[in-house]
Structure 1
Amino acid sequence: MTNDFSGTADQVLQAGRDIVYNDFRTVPREEPQPALFQVPSGTACFVNRTKELARMHRWLAGGDGDAPRTYVLSGTPGIGTTSTALRTAAEVRHLYPGGVLYVDFAVLDGDVRSAQAHVLRSAFGVAEQHLAVPGPDLAALYRSRTHRRGRILLVLENVTTPAQVTALVPATPGSAVVVTSNHRLEELVLDGAQLLPLQPLDAEHARHLLAGLIGAVRVEAEPAAATGLAECCEGLPLALAVVGARLAARPGLALAVVLEEMQAESSRLAVVSPQTGATRHSVSAALGVACRHLPAAALRLYRLLGLLPGRTFHLDAAVALDGSDRAVVAPLLEELRAASLVDEEIVAGRPTGRYGMHDLVRLHARALAEADDGEARHAALCRLVDHYTVRTAFADRAVMPADRLRITDHAVLLAGHEDPFAGPDARDRALDWLEAERAAALGVLRTAVARGLDRQAAELAEGLTALYLNHRHLTDWIESGRLGADAAARLGHRALEARLRSLLSRPLMDIGRSAEARKELDRALELADGTPDPVLRASVREFSARYWDACEPATALAQYEEALALNAEAGQWRGVALVLYFMGCTQDATGEHGRALATLADAHDRLAAIGDRRMAARALAALGVAHVHAGNTRIAVRILMRAAWALRRQRARPYEAQAREALADLALQDGSRAPARRQLARALELHALDGSPKEAELRERLEALREEG
């Protein structure tokens, strides 16, 4: 048998027993033509991305002999991957004599075959009848035609899978592919791809983008509103563009009016997702496209995450919402991370178990969740509230002493749950968790109240005081205390309401709202005295006495004496030590320095003996201050230094700050300005962490000292 072949073909398959013969002799030869430039024009307002563009330019300027390369631009929908890709293509087109080609997979429903046919048809003039061949043959024709051309730059938009990219890589050496995707497409790294996830615009560039759309004059006329709009959009270029387009279309509309709409969470997403005009100019539409390719379980979790009250969350909170376990939820979160819908927090090169969502993404997820079944949504929120109530109780137990007064029955609440903070450094890890979850926990408390979950709301509020007593977030504490106390009142739980109202008096006193504090304390005393619990009655009297410290020391001392007797009657020796500490402070403030020194020394020794290091350090600091007042300066400095370091180890920020301020005052009395500046700088740092009202005062003092030299 003789195999005879003549003419031209793009592909010849060997003839054998099963003869397969593909004849492309009828495909017309391509004629030389000018380099194509198929990409659409980019946005007129393009800001920042300087570093990204420079990096892409360097990489895309490779030599002719290089293997084809791939560059993947990814990020949150609306982040500007398309604008960046189109700008890059326009700037490097002269490096690609074979042309700059373009495929939008969104238009082609993600179909690889359609994409290959589109390129062959639009860039190489291949007629339709020659495209109706089996998939492998079409792929072979694609490779053949792209191999014969000069260096090609191919821009692929809205890619969802790595296979869409690998099937379209041109065969010409030196060619390149720029990919835009909401998906990170990390598998392409194995094929040598470079990954470039885009980040939101910073505040300055967000304002520049807005100014480019509506004019610098309007931005300069309302600078605060312009900054507020940029913050509400969180640097998402698409959102800024939609807002800018609306303002540009209505020159008389004040920026402040649009800002007011966006500051209301209920309308923020609607502002950047207009229902008129092209849907591509809509944040909701862009996010809808990103969700279209999610597996059903991942999409369900995405919707549930919209119910979270904060922008960051821990894996365990997602597990609670989902109602399953870590083994199920962790891969689903990875799906969402790969789709650029959530971000994973990495600290020091290690994942922390925490995730975040762009605020507009969260609101989109919430809108989807609110369209779901109401019962399922309520069940998910109940699981979330229970999760935070239990986890906060464990944190309270780790941070505060075991014999601290607690009305919540931990034996009941925590039964059957594993302690997440068990092991070394439990206190530090629990305090870190409380701080990280501060905003979310308060949001969950609001959710509990809104859902009628009063028991969980009151118990959660009591547990959160473990955070507030160590890191005095006073505004949060007031809201939490009020919500919890009112929930306890609705339950008819007198003891829990009394406890929460007495605790609420502390932040109210700290910000000067003494009349409100007195009202809470009067109600707390009335409620506590209606219970048979002597420790609760003693505790409320202790809080009441601390109110009277400022105006009627004699009344305060009388109430401390009552509290001492009640604690002793109940055998509550930590309560006795605490009352002695506060009583000693009152004695010192009223000039009874000798009695104060003895009382505070007794309180310190008792607290140290029972292992309450935090309160023992506070008593030591008060003892140092009493020595100052007694004229024992050298002893005072030594004791205050010990107290400051002990409080630092206990991460008791407000009390360490007080000790540092006392040391600064002593240093200034001695004429030692450098040590005074060091102590004040540390005190300022601590007050700033807690948002203390003393921050401004300390900053002024420190600046004055620095100017004096």
Structure 2
Amino acid sequence: MNHLPGNVDGQLAQVGVAHGPITFNYHAAEAVLSAAGRRLNQVPRPPRSFVNRHRALAELDEVLAADDFPGCPIGVFSGLPGIGKTAAASQWAHINHQRFPGGQLFIDFAQLRSGAGADVSEALAICLRALGVHDQYLPVGFAERTALYRDLSAERGGMLVVLDDVTRPAQVTPLVPQGPRSALLATSTWRLGELVLDGATLLQLDVLDPDSAVELLSAVCGHQRIADEPDAAKRLVELCGGLPIAVRLCGARLLTHPRLTIGELVVELSDEQSRLSRIAVSSAHEERTMSAALELAYRDLPETAARMYRMLGHLPGLSFDTAVAAVAAGLATAEEAKETLDVLERASLLSVMEDRRYALHSLVRLHAREMSLAQDPPSAARETVGRVLGHYRLLTVLADLAIRADRLRITDTAEITTAAEAFSAPGEEASTGVGPFAGTDDPGRDALCWLEAERSNILAVLRAAAELGFARPVWQTVEAFTVLFLHHRHLADWRESSELGIDAARGDGAVAAEARLRSLASRPHMDLGQDERAKEHLDIAERLAVESGHVVLQASVQEFAGRYWDRHEPSRAVDAYRASLALNAEAGEVRGEALARYFLGCAQSAAGDHMTALTTLRRARTALLSLGDYRMAARALADTGRTKARLGDTVDAIVDLSRAAADLRRSRAFHYEAQAVEDLAGLLEDPEEVRACLRRALVIYEEGGSPRAAAVLARLTAG
């Protein structure tokens, strides 16, 4: 006789002799519904300081609350670590609590990953327990657990399942509830695009706008703190990049350190080297940091993507394309770089902009740099910047050549452009001539557009490279980069670029290059009203040009000196232009001779010798047209019109200035177009035509940061 002491839970069979298998079918009967009368409410409450996200929550309304959705609707919030995905999901669940009479389940996959046996099967076990299945009745196999979950979720109906911090689609699909009017909401750093095949809608969360970020900071640390230091608060959330977790951590630090002012915290965070470590808050039990949040995303990257991530941390500039990323990471092809960038995008560690360029959040960039400093050789930063500088030097030189091949250069461009044979833009064959700008209807226009689009990035690379001591490639890039500023007057950028180039040329012992860059630097200084600084550059440039023995360079410096004397002593300007004309003629420099003749004509007119000036300007324009230099020819036409106006020939002056303004606009020489239309406004009689001219000039001057904008605005407002 069998004897079984104690209590027994569940099924019991006492069998003497059994022939064949014994099967117990008890799940449907006993699995049971000890939770049948209890409403599930597992989703954590949203943080008290939750702000904004109205648009994201409204989009989720459309996805998860649709009555006519076939099957179970699925929404996925994705975005940077700390962007507020969990908070947004919890907020939506809280607001829509009544829509789901079957209750709300919540699974935190981050906690599952930190424990032993962390997998989808364990997530199913958690759900089954919540639905009333006791541990002794839990199926052991994954397939059996999935089947039971489907049965029970179908019976219950009207459920919301929230899956937090999932990392792959396979963690989502088995947990989709089967009952009517149920829904599933997942959050993930990864984009999980494959879930679209299951009908999911992907919702990308972005950083907070400045006002919402300040509102969040206020909700955490108190409204009075913000009221006491409103400007510092705006700067603080700017340093946080609008990232909610960073704002919360800073707010919590202010709350726990009442004597710490917002301004003092701003000073601390202004140091990039320590910013991430200072975005933190400590308690007796734990320390929460911005670095730790980003580490969660970084540790899941495959090695190739992790290495590119680290190299991008050293990349100067705000945005980059596939070619720059390939160069920064030292990858062989753009295709390989594109695949790796796709991984980083899916991990929400970089974003794709509307023009298909890429960008890293400012705090993500700092984290990537931290990872590189911890894992890569000390030379990694210098090597990355050096590779990127070489890339931009090549393209900037090619752009310069495409815009104006025959202008004076100290750089031996042949040494650099030989690399163009190996250059290939993403998806294009390697090209020669003017590199990636070849084969288009207007290579010069396309090159100028490229320089304009890359302006801030080139300047950032120059800053970083100059600091690291890359002397020669820096001044060579600056010399080529100047062609942009000769067309588009970004005066502050031009001045900064010139100063970087001058310092680099001096450090390289390149006397001719220093003279060239100093003479060019005189232009932005003069346009900014800094004539004394311009004169200092010109005096040194003149001495160095003579020292170099470069005759064409000497002629060019005399031309720039003439531009200075135009303002201060017209007779000396005439002398300077005559000297430039003679030196260019001596060197057989046809274009330089035409330019000197043009400026000589301008000086003659300014000195009152208008008839001689007209003859000189006509000869200069003819020569410039024969050289195909339509931009300078248009300038000569504009000054012909100005000279005619001084002679009292208003009708012809209006014709010349109107035509010159149109030609300059087609040449994208906007600064000189502005000068032409401003002068034209002084000759026209129709008030509406005058205002149209002044409005156009104002737009150009404001975009270029020219002090002339104030004078033009005064003319407009005066009537």
- Fold in common (TM above 0.5): yes
Deviation per residue, 1:558-579 (Å, 9 max, x gap): 1211111111111111101111
Structure 2 counterparts to residues 612-691 of structure 1, below 5 A: 612-667=629-684, 670=685, 672-691=686-705
What are structure 1's unaligned runs of at least 5 residues? 1-7, 10-17
Aligned length, in residue pairs: 680
- Which residue of the partner structure matches residue 404 of structure 1? 407
The answer on whether the counterparts of 1:311 and 1:362 sit within 8 Å (CA) in structure 2 is no
Letter in structure 1 aligned against 2:360: M
Task: Tell me the CA shift for residue 587 of structure 1.
Answer: 1.5
Unaligned runs of 5+ in 2: 1-9, 12-19, 424-434
Say whether the 8 Å CA contact 2:250–2:281 is kept in structure 1: no
1:19 CA drift (Å): 9.1
CA contact (8 A) 1:238 1:282 kept: no
Q: Give the equivalent residue in structure 2 for 1:266.
A: 273
Task: State the distance in 2 between where 1:663 and 1:281 align.
Answer: 63
Secondary structure of the structure 1 residue equivalent to 2:76: strand
Deviation at 1:149, TM superposition (A): 1.2
Pick from 108, 111, 132: which aligns with 1:107? 111
Q: Match of 1:116?
A: 124
Q: CA deviation at 1:699?
A: 2.9
In the aligned structure 1, how far is the partner of 2:287 from the partner of 2:65? 32
Q: Is the 8 A contact 2:163 2:186 kept in 1?
A: yes
The 10-residue stretch of structure 1 (477-486 or 209-218) with the greater mean CA deviation from structure 2: 209-218
| 1:326-381: CA deviation from partner (whole Å, max 9, x where unpaired) | 0110011111111111111224xxx3xx1111111111112212222123443222
Equivalent residue of 1:73, what SS? strand
Determine the structure 1 residue equivalent to 2:364.
361
Structure 2 partner of 1:5 = none
Contact 1:600 1:619 in 2 (8 A): yes
Give the equivalent residue in structure 2 for 1:76: 80
Query: For the Cα contact (< 8 Å) 1:660–1:679, is it kept in 2?
Result: yes
Counterpart residue identity of residue 713, structure 2? R
Q: Which amino acid aligns with 2:393?
A: T
Change (3 A) 1:280 1:615: farther
Q: Deviations over 1:243-294 (max 9, x none)?
A: 2222222334332222223333333323324466787843222211111211
**Residues 201 and 237 in structure 1, CA contact (< 8 A), matched pair in contact too:** yes
User: 2:139 matched to 1:136?
Assistant: no
Partner of 1:423: 439
Would the aligned equivalents of 1:390 and 1:413 in 2 still touch at CA under 8 Å? yes
Letter matched to residue 387 of structure 1: H
SS of the residue corresponding to residue 611 of structure 1 reads: coil
Cα–Cα, structure 1 residues 21 and 163, in superposed 2: closer, same or farther, change >3 Å?
A: farther
Cross-structure match for 1:50: 54
C-alpha contact 1:64 1:173 (8 A) present in aligned 2 = no
Contact 1:345 1:356 in 2 (8 A): yes
Determine if contact 1:66/1:174 at 8 Å carries over to the other structure.
no
Structure 1 distance, partners of 2:539, 2:286, is 59
* Range 272-281 or range 37-46, more displaced: 272-281
SS in 2 for 1:537: helix
Name the structure 1 match of 2:302. Answer: 295
**2:411 counterpart SS class:** coil
Report what 1:15 is aligned to.
none
2:710 is the alignment partner of 1:693: no
Q: Aligned ranges for residues 301-700 of structure 1 at < 5 Å?
A: 301-324=308-331, 325-347=333-355, 351=356, 354-371=357-374, 372-399=376-403, 401-417=404-420, 418=423, 419-424=435-440, 425-667=442-684, 670=685, 672-700=686-714
Give the AA of the match of 1:570. A
Higher mean C-alpha displacement, 592-601 vs 60-69: 60-69
Compute the displacement of 1:131 (Å).
Answer: 3.4
Quick one: which amino acid aligns to residue 684 of structure 1?
L
Q: Matches of 2:216 and 2:690 in 1, distance apart?
A: 46
Partners in 2 of 1:306 and 1:28 — Cα distance? Answer: 53
Q: Structure 1: how far apart are the matches of 2:91 and 2:597?
A: 71
Would the alpha carbon gap of residues 19 and 590 (structure 1) be closer, same or farther in structure 2, given more than 3 Å must change?
Answer: farther
Residue type of the alignment partner of 1:692? S
Query: Alignment partner for residue 99 of structure 2, among 95, 98, 110?
Result: 95
**Aligned letter for 1:508?**
H
- Listed as ranges, the matches of 1:142-181 within 5 Å are 142-181=149-188
Higher deviation after alignment, 18-27 or 426-435 = 18-27
The SS at the match of 2:106 is: strand
CA offset digits 1:607-626 (Å, max 9, x no partner)? 11110111111212222222
**Structure 1 contact 660–680 (Cα < 8 Å) conserved:** yes
Structure 2 match to 1:236: 243
User: Superposition pairs for residues 207-222 of structure 1, below 5 Å?
Assistant: 207-222=214-229
Q: By how many angstroms is 1:64 displaced?
A: 8.8
Select between 597-606 and 405-414 the one with higher mean Cα deviation: 597-606
2:492 and 2:705 in contact (8 A); partners too: no
Deviation, structure 1 residue 305: 0.7
CA distance in 1, matches of 2:180, 2:22: 30
Q: Residue type matched to 1:356 in 2?
A: A
**CA separation in 2, counterparts of 1:202 and 1:695?**
30
Cα distance in 2 between the residues matched to 1:100 and 1:696: 62
Q: CA deviation at 1:38?
A: 0.3
Measured in 2, the distance between the counterparts of 1:518 and 1:222 equals 44
Tell me the distance in 2 between the aligned counterparts of 1:288 and 1:422.
Answer: 44
Distance 2:452 2:22 in 1: 70
Say whether the 8 Å CA contact 1:538–1:563 is kept in structure 2: yes
How far the C-alpha of 1:27 sits from its partner, in A, is 4.3
Classify 1:338/1:700 alpha carbon distance in 2 versus 1 (closer, same or farther; 3 Å): farther
Contact 1:43 1:83 in 2 (8 A): yes
**What amino acid does structure 2 have at the position aligned with 1:56?**
L
Q: Distance in 2 between matches of 1:102 and 1:316?
A: 43
SS of residue in 2 equivalent to 1:655: helix
Distance 2:338 2:238 in 1: 30
After superposition, the CA RMSD in angstroms is: 2.2
Deviates more, 1:371-380 or 1:461-470: 371-380
Question: Which deviates further from its counterpart, 412-421 or 641-650?
Answer: 412-421
Structure 1 pair 21–702 and aligned structure 2 pair: CA distance change class (3 A): farther
1:87-128, Cα deviation, whole Å (9 max, x unpaired): 00011111111110101111111621121111112x123233
Which shifted more, 29-38 or 259-268? 259-268
- Partner SS for 1:156: strand
Residue 59 of structure 1 corresponds to 63
SS of 1:549's partner is helix
Matched with 2:429 is none
Aligned partners of 1:78 and 1:286 also within 8 Å: yes
Deviations 1:435-479 (A, max 9, x none): 222122112112222222211111111111011211222222222
Please tell me the residue identity of whatever aligns with 1:677. R
Of 198, 209, 234 in structure 2, the residue corresponding to residue 202 of structure 1 is: 209
Separation of aligned partners in 1, 2:183 and 2:596: 75
Larger CA deviation: 167-176 vs 260-269? 260-269
Q: Alpha-carbon deviation of 1:72?
A: 0.8
SS in 2 for 1:550: helix
- Taking structure 2 as the reference length, what is the TM-score of the superposition? 0.91
| Contact in 1 for aligned 2:556/2:580 (Cα 8 Å) | yes
Secondary structure of the residue aligned to 1:666 is coil
